A and B are shown apart, each in its own frame.
Chain A
């Protein structure tokens, strides 16, 4: 059964019209055979039978870990990231390395050096990014689950546009060892899946203890029994309405109404201090930390020199980060952005004293069409509803909410730091209610 499915998946992935993958594993059937033996011996792990795609910025030994960049085009990972070790231990079958925005710098999937991924649910519009290929692979059913990363919305944005489930864990919940990160203080590895059950299961495997990452909080997430949750206290951020396509906001309000009617969820409105400058705080942090983290790509031990071979958006962030982190600007950019981060983090913590979760749209508009070109500032503004969770170090997830103009639209659920159990229970309740 498993081997048959492996054959079918491999065939369909090799004919993939959506450009979900940069590299497809040639041993999918062999992996499936080994897992089937362990299933037969009753010694299989909890991911046995699950086919998983990996974002190309997560080191996976023996596979191209290119970050969708010409800089690392020929780089083969020499070791496994912690999350890869954990999913292998639980008998996941790895199908390949997915396409993405170059070094995770993008919101649409368009900055990949290799090719542009196509949204299977709405091919006229971009699939979202930066985890474009992971979302497309799940959405096109080339795999059950995918590993992705989220610095300012890179899991939630493409999950919404491709009509799937995605979770950005709290900062510190999942080991970042082996991740080629965009921003060391914001990035988290998280799951994408066809449903909340699979996303939660994958998160529980990914979040195991590690000694390899000093930012890991030593708090594994244990898979709970998922149930319909009644009487949740939910918060709405009213300031977001003015920034949002009215059709998306209306869909959100309809969903909130449904949940209050069917499950007695109680709604209240809350303002988050300084949330209006979340994007303005997010980008200086990303610029400086990408500049800092990218200095190792000098082409001496592996890859090619970064600035000579990277695309324009990556260059913009590195050059900008280099400039604003000069000693003469000390305290004016990065430190100021960290102060805003701290203020937003404190404000969220305050609000989570009175609500269980917060519901928001994922993006302010529908994904743009291929022939529409966004300015740099327009593309940065696209992160307005997702960056606050990264700045506040809280967890967030996306569940499909409906569609507008034949384009999937997700709902964002936010919960407090290390409140993933509450998050997945709320996401499960939304999923089960909205799919009826």
Chain B
């Protein structure tokens, strides 16, 4: 299957599922997640040993401790 066919199949399934949800007579209420504390505390821990070394090893291309990310690929 190519991406277009995969998308078509996914959309069909989602349409069928949402049809069932529409028939379920759900209450029309706001359903966001509300948290009183929603920010992380400042990170005071030091980076894991060898973090930078491994971080750079994972990158497809590096130059002088920087990751090379070509604009074309964005």
Contacts and interface: CB of A to CB of B under 8 A. Distances in A.
Contacts of B18: 280, 284, 332-333, 336-337
A283 B7 contact: no
Given A76-B58, A79-B51, A333 B14 contact: yes
B60 A299 contact: yes
Contacts of A79: 47-48, 51
Interface residues on B, range: 35 or more
Interface residues of A, number: 53
A339 B29 contact: yes
Nearest to A79: B48
A370 interface: no
A340 B14 contact: no
Nearest to A320: B10
A319 B22 contact: no
A277 interface: yes
Contacts of B33: 185
Contacts of A335: 31
A274 B20 CA distance: 10
A307 B4 CA distance: 12
Interface stretch (A237-245, A309-317, A412-420): A309-317
A80 interface: yes
Contacts of A77: 54
Contacts of A298: 73-74
Given A280-B17, A284-B17, A342 B48 contact: no
Interface in A316-344: 316-317, 319-320, 323-324, 332-333, 335-343
Interface string B39-74: 111000001101100110111100000010100011
B27 A320 contact: no
Interface in B1-19: 1, 3, 6-7, 9-11, 13-14, 16-18
A332 B7 CA distance: 18
Interface in A290-311: 298-303, 305, 307
B67 A274 contact: no
B10 A76 contact: no
A342 B31 CA distance: 7
A185 B32 CA distance: 11
A283 B10 CA distance: 10
B10 A316 contact: yes
A211 B58 CA distance: 27
A287 B31 contact: no
B58 A302 contact: yes
Contacts of B50: 62, 78
Given A287-B14, A336-B22, A340-B24, A214 B38 contact: yes
B20 A280 contact: yes
A78 B38 contact: no
9 contacts: A211-B40, A281-B17, A300-B67, A301-B55, A301-B69, A302-B55, A303-B58, A324-B14, A336-B26
Interface of B: 1, 3, 6-7, 9-11, 13-14, 16-18, 20-22, 24, 26-29, 31-33, 35, 37-41, 47-48, 50-51, 54-55, 57-60, 67, 69, 73-74
Interface of A: 61-62, 74-80, 185, 211-212, 214-215, 274, 276-277, 279-281, 283-284, 287, 298-303, 305, 307, 312, 315-317, 319-320, 323-324, 332-333, 335-343, 376-377, 380
Given A61-B48, A342-B31, 9 more contacts: A76-B58, A279-B17, A284-B18, A298-B73, A298-B74, A301-B55, A301-B69, A320-B13, A336-B22
